[in-house]
Amino acid sequence: MEYLLIDAGGTSTKVFVYDGEKVVRQYKYEPASVDKVGPYKSVLRLSSIISSFNKKFNGIAISLAGIDSEVMAKEVKKSTISTSK
């Protein structure tokens, strides 16, 4: 079992592959914080990161900085793209 854990911050986006017991790989990408890049670009970056793995995970968890206002949360929810098929 593998899980993708994403910490989308304003300085960088850290991505970890977790096997259920420990982090087995980690990566660093450009910032994807809603405050830093805006909601549309944030969703695009996160979708691109997830797609780059070209595999299915047992779960994906995303910590998204800058989504602490109700207005921004609603805007991001409207922009969310489903990656599961």
Q: Which domain holds residue 58?
A: 3-79
* Alpha-carbon radius of gyration of the chain: 13
Q: The domain spanning residue 30 has which CATH number?
A: 3.30.420.40
Within a domain: 44: yes
> Number of structural domains, the chain?
1
H or E, element range at 28: strand 23-29
pTM: 0.79
Compute the distance between CA of residue 18 and CA of residue 60 in angstroms, rounded to an integer: 10
pLDDT tens-digit readout, 51-75: 999 999 999 999 988 777 677 767 7
Within a domain: 27: yes
- Parallel/antiparallel/unpaired status of strands 23-29 and 13-18: antiparallel
Within a domain: 38: yes
Q: Angle 81-49-56 (CA atoms, 0-180°, nearest 5)?
A: 75
CA 19 distance to own-chain centroid: 18
Within a domain: 32: yes
pLDDT tens-digit readout, 5-57: 999 998 999 999 999 999 999 999 999 998 888 888 988 999 999 999 999 99
